[in-house]
Structure 1
C-alpha cells in the first residue's frame, strides 16, 4: 500500500534561504491557468481552453500574530526569496509506522502590501504581508526533481519534471 500523507507537523519561514523569519501562517498561491472560451464550428458548445504554461497572478500571504520587524523588512521594494520548510506527517499502512517527510516551497516574490492589523486587548493583531509571486518551486523529500516549478520571467513551467514550455521557448528563440 502507498504511504499516506496526513498533516503538517510544523513548518518554518526563511528569507533568502537562511534567515529565520518567525511564526507566520502562510496562505500559499493558487495556480490557475489563463483560459479563454472556445466555440465555433466543430465544437458542440463551448470549451474553456487553458493556455499551456501560462498562469494567472499568484499571491503569497504571510499572517503574523503581531507586527514583526521581519514583516516590515519584507516591505522593502525588491524581490524576496522566501522558503517555507515543512515536516509532513505520513503513515505507512504496510508497517504501521508514522513517518515525517520534508516539503519545501520556495517563492520569489515582491511585496504588494503590509496590513498592520488590529489593536485589541488580549488578542492577536493579525498583521500580514501580501506578495506577488513570479517563481515557485515545490520539492518533496529533498528530491532532485521538483514536483512543480514555475518561473514566469524565464518561461519555465515544470510539472513532475516535464517542462511544458520547453518547446515554446525553443520556438520563440528563448535560451
Structure 2
C-alpha cells in the first residue's frame, strides 16, 4: 500500500546514547555539496561541472539549545568527536486515508567548529548553538540505510551500495 509522507511527528536527539534535554525546536540536517571541477575545451560545447564521486565539500551541522547548559559545553572539546543520533517518527497517510508512522534515524559524527553561547533576555531562551564539522553521516528510513558517508574511512553508500567499490578495486 502506498503512503504519502506528510511530516515529522516527533523527534529526539541523543549524544553518545544520552537524550539531549535542552534542545531547540528544530535541527537542520547538513547539505551534501559535491566537490567538482569545471570541464571545458575541445570536444565540449561550453563547460560543465564534473563531480568527483564520493567527494563533498565541508559539511556542517548546527545543534540548537534553548539555553546554555552542560550538554552544549560538553561538545566543545575539539580533541573528541561528538556522535549525535536523531531519531524521529515520520507521519504518513496511506491510500485509504489512514495515518501511519515510520522510523527515521540520522547519525552524525564530527568535531566542534563553532560555538555561539547565545543571548540573555529575561523570560526568553538563549538561542545557544554548537556547530559541528561533519566527518560521518548515516541516514536511515524504516531501519534501512539510505545514505552513508564516512569521510575518514572512504565510505560512500547509497541504499547500502558502495558507490566507490570500483575505484577502491583500482587503487
Question: TM-score per shorter chain, which class?
Answer: over 0.9
Q: State whether structure 2 residue 23 is matched by structure 1 residue 2.
A: no
Residues in 2 aligned to 1:107 and 1:167: alpha-carbon distance in whole angstroms:
26
What 5-or-longer segments of structure 2 have no aligned partner? Answer: none
The within-5 A match list for 1:35-50 is: 35-50=36-51
Q: Deviations over 1:4-34 (max 9, x none)?
A: 1111111101012x21112233121100100
Report Cα offsets for 1:70-115 as digits up to 9, x if no partner.
001111221111100011111102x311011100000111111221
Structure 1 residue 142: Cα displacement: 1.4
Matched, 1:122 2:87: no
- The residue number in structure 2 matching 1:80 is 82
Matched, 1:165 2:167: no
5 Å-filtered alignment, 1:1-175, equals: 2-16=2-16, 18-22=17-21, 23-24=23-24, 25-77=26-78, 78-93=80-95, 95-143=96-144, 146-172=145-171
Aligned positions, number: 168
Q: Which runs of 5+ in 1 are unaligned?
A: none
What is the CA-CA distance between 1:53 and the residue it aligns to? 0.9
**RMSD of the TM alignment (CA)?**
1.2
**Superposition TM-score, scaled by structure 1 size:** 0.91
Runs of 4+ in 1 over 4 A off after TM superposition: none
